[in-house]
Chains A and B, each alone.
With several copies, the nearest count.
Chain A
Amino acid sequence: MLTLVYFAWVRESIGRDEERIERPAPGTTVAGLIATLAAREGGYAEALGDPTKLRAAIDQHFVPLDTVIGEAREVALFPPVTGG
Chain B
Amino acid sequence: MKRVAIQSGDFDMAAELAALESLGGGGVASFTGVVRGESGLIALELEHYPAMTAPQVDRIVDEALARWPLLGVSVIHRFGRLEPGARIVFVGTASRHRAAALASCAFLIDWLKSHAPFWKKEHFADGATAWVAAQAEDEAKAQGWNA
A interface residues with partner B (beta carbon < 8 Å): 5, 7-9, 11, 57, 60-62, 74, 76, 78-84
B118 at the interface (CB under 8 A from A): yes
18 contacts between A and B (CB under 8 A): A8-B119, A57-B49, A60-B49, A60-B52, A60-B55, A60-B56, A62-B115, A78-B119, A82-B132, A82-B135, A83-B48, A83-B114, A83-B115, A83-B116, A84-B109, A84-B114, A84-B116, A84-B118
Partner of A9, one of B33, B55, B89, B131: B131
**Closest Cβ–Cβ distance, residue A73 to chain B (whole Å):** 11
The reply to whether B131 and A8 contact each other, CB–CB distance below 8 Å, is yes
Q: How far is the CB of B4 from chain A (nearest CB, A)?
A: 13
Question: Nearest CB to that of A8 among chain B residues?
Answer: B119
Please tell me if the beta carbons of A57 and B117 are within 8 angstroms of each other in the complex. Answer: yes
With A8-B131, A60-B56 in contact, do A84 and B117 touch (Cβ < 8 Å)? no
- Across the interface, B112 reaches (CB within 8 A) one of A62, A78, A83, namely A83
Chain B residue numbers with a CB within 8 Å of A60 are: 49, 51-52, 55-56
- A82-B49 in contact given A7-B119, A8-B121 (Cβ < 8 Å): no
Chain B residues within 8 Å of A84, by CB? 33, 77, 88-89, 98, 109, 112-114, 116, 118, 138
Whether, in the assembled complex, B128 has its beta carbon less than 8 Å from a beta carbon of chain A, the answer is no
Q: Residues 109-139 of chain B: 1 if any A CB is under 8 Å from the residue's CB, otherwise 0?
A: 1001111111111000000000111110011
**Residues of chain A within 8 A of B51, CB atoms compared:** 60, 74
Min CB distance A56 to B, Å, is 11
CB contacts (< 8 Å) of A81 on chain B: these are 114-119, 134
B47 at the interface (CB under 8 A from A): yes
Q: Which residues of B contact A74 (CB under 8 A)?
A: 51
